[in-house]
Amino acid sequence: MIARPLSCLRDAAGYRVLKTTFRFLLTASAPATGLGQSRFIPARHLFDAVPRRALPSSPEGNGLFFAYSRDGLQREVLFLLAEMIRRGGPVDESAFSCALKACGSERDDVAGKQLHCCCVKRGHGVHVSVATSLVDMYMKCGSVEDGRRAFDWMPVRNVVSWTSLFTGYSQNGQQDIVLDLFYQMRAEGINPNAHIFTSLLTASAAEQALDRGLRVHGQLIKFGFQHATPVCNSVISMYSKCGFTGHAKTVFDKMAERDAVSWNAMVAGLVQNGFDLEALALFHQMRVGGTKLTQLSFGTVMKACANLGELGFACQLHCCTVKRGFESDGNVRAALMVVYSNHGQIDDCFKVFSMADGARNVVSWTAMIGSYLANGRADQAAGLFRQMRGEGVRPNDFTYSTVLTASPVVSPSQIHAQAIKTNHEHVPSVGTALLNAYTKLGNTNDALVVFRGIENKDIVAWSAMLSCYAQSGDPEAAVRLFRKMVSQRVNPNEFTLSSAVDACAGATSTAEQGKQFHGFAIKLGFEVTLCVSSALVTMYAKKGSIESAHAVFSRQSQRDMVSWNSMLCGYAQHGYGKEALEMFAEMGARGLALDGVTFIGVITACTHAGLVEQGRKHFHSMVDTHQISPTMEHYACMVDLYSRAGNFDEAVKLIDEMPFPAAATVWRTILGACRVHRNMELGKLAGEKLLALEPEHSAAYVLLSNLYAVTGKWDERSRVRKLMTERRVKKEAGYSWIEVKNKVHSFLASDRSHPLSEHIYAELDRLFSRFKDMGYHPDTNFVLHDVEEEHKEVMLRQHSEKLALAFGLIATPRGTPLQIVKNLRVCGDCHTVFKLASSVEGRDIVVRDSNRFHHFKSGSCSCGDYW
């Protein structure tokens, strides 16, 4: 009958034959062929032959709709409906419902809204099946508000309608609403089905909301779904994602029937929670029990192999995937690449990547880029990313996040431009990765632009921005950002607080800011966490409160090398050489793996205490016993140790033995020591080296001119100053800061801009009058200007740190400790004045200069006059 020419079927009798044939073909077209082609397709050809005035009635049309929809031909559904409407044919609720589902599958909200209007116009919008399809369509297209409106307008709702709403909210990331909807549905007298419980459990798992998941579990037992396999699978996944693997295993063990999804969910849950050996054992049971292994099974167990370092078993699994034809699956390939990458088998990793030449997806590309980065091949990772873009594969958010870790090899600004183009810059993970990349480059402004553009900022993004401010030394901005975060009800975690505390360790921040964050950490219970307590130790040590640093250190229940090194370096910088050496000995006795930072701390302690032999011994121990290769910083510490003690021959010998050219820090250290010991010959050499390395830096010119000044070579000093002027190099001004009542006051030498300037200078006169009665004589050798002696005394008296001291004395109650910060080295005369002031005024005074801390108490200094 089908073979007859279509032209003979265009009369009334022919149409009756066609109608019968059409029904037969639709009834017989249920199964699809092995090639994925439906047997209903001849019916389409017959329908196309029907004259415009002779359209099939609703049953025949609906059968064709359902056949198209079943075979995934969504566009055909829409074309068919459009043609029937255009020709004025009969279209019922079932046809509209099927067409709306097609719009949802295609994510075509434009066509969906047109159909919505058409449904309302024809009076089908109130029908429960059409309204449910509308809800489903809007939710799949991401129009959650439109979907909810369509749901609210429904005069009658059934459990299918509620299921569409539940699924839509869950798939659009609004899991927090789902449980409230459940109780609303129950209030309307609708009993839930298995799909609703699956949505509820999925929502609880996504937010790791165990309390909500427990309530849902109780409800599903109440309604008798505790034995339904799909529901049990969701319960297992929920408990696993909430970290309660034991609960998940209990549900798994009690299941009457398990499918491959059940086994895969349980294995994945074990791997997610770090039970990799148990996951391998369960995988073995799965194989022995005859459960059909899927791509997901292999992908999950390969992750366990990667975590356990089981390369051999992973290779066996690789063979199994090849045998079963799974090696082309993107997730399996990605898992294999992770295994090979973790073992440094980057060539094998690339072979797996290359095997899927025609089927490489974004997951495979991203995994290969990550493998290159994990093995230190940033250039190849960058090249692969460019190749990926050249082959037309669109990066996803994980790709951008991965490749940005290659900064600065990969320019973050270029990736930023691509992320904007593909609308990924607002995704929190991409935004945070961009923020970190800009932070590495010290580009705070671009980092802030990225941060402001991130939608739905998570705690990771806030922490990253705080870390950026900490690295850039902007504590005020960090404090403002932290307050804004709290005002937006974002709860800080230990990493957020750690970054905030780090920001408060800067030289220009107030100690009170750090104390406030300390109080916040205690309130939230984070003081005992390792990262916060270590940050507090560092902050207090840098703010001059070594006692508070030690108090936090003593309360730590566990310590890592950051804690030990922070405390050791704190003691060293504060001049507590004995305590630093005792701590170093304790670290060795505990068998801790000492690192390069540890030895910088102990050598610095020896330097500030003048313990040359002990410093030499520890340096050789670092190289010979601990097999740590010295860095430029280690050599600079040793040069400082020798040159401070006047052992310039040993310092020069060490420089000659260095495996790399001496950096500017080394020659700057030598030059500074030459000024103290008046070693003109070596000082000139160091000055020439320093000027060659840093011609734009003022320190070289200042130190060299100071050397000429202390030796009375005023012409040479003038020549250096003239050179400095010609090269337009500006000398760094000497500032001093003091904090009083949570406000920082800054002073320059001979400064009279402070509102209390008259009182400050009157206090200086009072102090120096008392000091002279005690036998004090100004040491004018520290005035490096060729002026009259009387003028030198005036200049010496008006150094910035002396002004800060006088202000502190008049602005604080008697007996209050004072803390002063200076950006340059404290001169010898000021050092003497501070010792006298601590005795005369009965004050503890802490001064932090560019080199170290000085603790003045009862007329003496912690440095022992050796600095």
Does the pLDDT value for residue 696 go beyond 90? no
Give me 789's structure tokens. 């002696």
- How far apart CA 843 and CA 817 sit, in angstroms, is 6
What is the domain extent for residue 312? 260-394
What is the domain count for the chain? Answer: 3
Q: Indicate the pairing of strand 853-857 with strand 845-848.
A: antiparallel
pTM value is 0.63
- CA nearest neighbour of 384 among 396, 407, 367: 367
3-state secondary structure 562-591: HHHHHHHHHHHHCCCHHHHHHHHHHHHHCC
- How far apart CA 15 and CA 2 sit, in angstroms, is 13
Tell me which H or E stretch contains 819.
strand 818-822
Is the residue at 650 inside a domain?
no
Burial class (CB in 10 A: 0-12, 13-18, 19+), 163: buried
Check whether the bond before 408 is cis (ω within 30° of 0). Answer: yes
Which amino acid is residue 600, in one-letter code? I
pLDDT bracket for residue 5 (50, 70, 90): very low
Residue 267 is predicted with a pLDDT of 93
- How far apart CA 7 and CA 689 sit, in angstroms, is 100
Is the residue at 699 inside a domain?
no
CA 93 to chain centre: 51
Can you name the residues that pair with 847 across neighbouring β-strands?
820, 854
Whether residues 140 and 288 share a domain: the answer is no
Can you name the residues that pair with 791 across neighbouring β-strands?
none
The CB-side HSE value for 567 (13 A sphere, CA atoms) comes to 24
Residue 653 is predicted with a pLDDT of 94
Is the residue at 367 inside a domain?
yes
- CA nearest neighbour of 243 among 213, 200, 215, 217: 213
The contacts of residue 504 (CB under 8 Å, 6+ apart) are 475, 478, 479, 510, 513, 514, 517, 539, 543
Residue 9 is predicted with a pLDDT of 34
Q: Among the three residues 359, 394, 429, which one is the final residue of a domain in this structure?
A: 394
What's the alpha-carbon Rg for the chain, to the nearest Å? Answer: 38
Burial class (CB in 10 A: 0-12, 13-18, 19+), 70: middle
- CA nearest neighbour of 115 among 144, 152, 85: 85
Which amino acid is residue 523, in one-letter code? K
E-only strand ranges, 653-785: 735-740, 743-748
Give me the mean pLDDT over the 160-189 stretch.
Answer: 76
Is the residue at 265 inside a domain?
yes
pLDDT tens digit string along 452-486? 888 888 888 898 898 888 888 787 888 889 889 98
Is the residue at 149 inside a domain?
yes
Tell me which H or E stretch contains 328.
none
Q: Backbone phi, then psi, for 740, in 5-degree steps?
A: -135, 125
CA distances from 25 to 20, 39, 494, 670, 814 (A): 9, 8, 67, 97, 103
Give me the residue label for tokens 């420089």. 655
Q: Among the three residues 126, 156, 186, which one is the final residue of a domain in this structure?
A: 156
- CA nearest neighbour of 648 among 621, 615, 619, 686: 686
Task: Show the CA angle centred on residue 184, arms to residues 183 and 189, nearest 5°.
Answer: 90
The separation between the first and the last C-alpha atoms of the chain, rounded to the nearest angstrom, is 108
Give me the mean pLDDT over the 332-346 stretch.
Answer: 81
Does the pLDDT value for residue 203 go beyond 70? yes
The contacts of residue 149 (CB under 8 Å, 6+ apart) are none
pLDDT bracket for residue 549 (50, 70, 90): very high
Helix (H, G, I), strand (E, B) or coil at 820: strand
pLDDT tens digit string along 64-119? 666 666 666 767 777 767 767 776 666 777 777 777 787 877 777 777 787 788 77
Whether residues 24 and 152 share a domain: the answer is yes
Contact between 372 and 384 (Cβ < 8 Å): yes
pLDDT bracket for residue 40 (50, 70, 90): very low
- How far apart CA 857 and CA 839 sit, in angstroms, is 7
Is the residue at 303 inside a domain?
yes
The CB-side HSE value for 535 (13 A sphere, CA atoms) comes to 27
Is the residue at 523 inside a domain?
no
Which amino acid is residue 122, in one-letter code? R
- DSSP, res 456: S
CATH number, position 78: 1.25.40.10
Whether residues 131 and 277 share a domain: the answer is no
- How far apart CA 817 and CA 811 sit, in angstroms, is 12
Is the residue at 803 inside a domain?
yes
pLDDT bracket for residue 713 (50, 70, 90): confident
Q: Among the three residues 121, 156, 191, which one is the final residue of a domain in this structure?
A: 156
pLDDT bracket for residue 263 (50, 70, 90): very high
Helix (H, G, I), strand (E, B) or coil at 745: strand
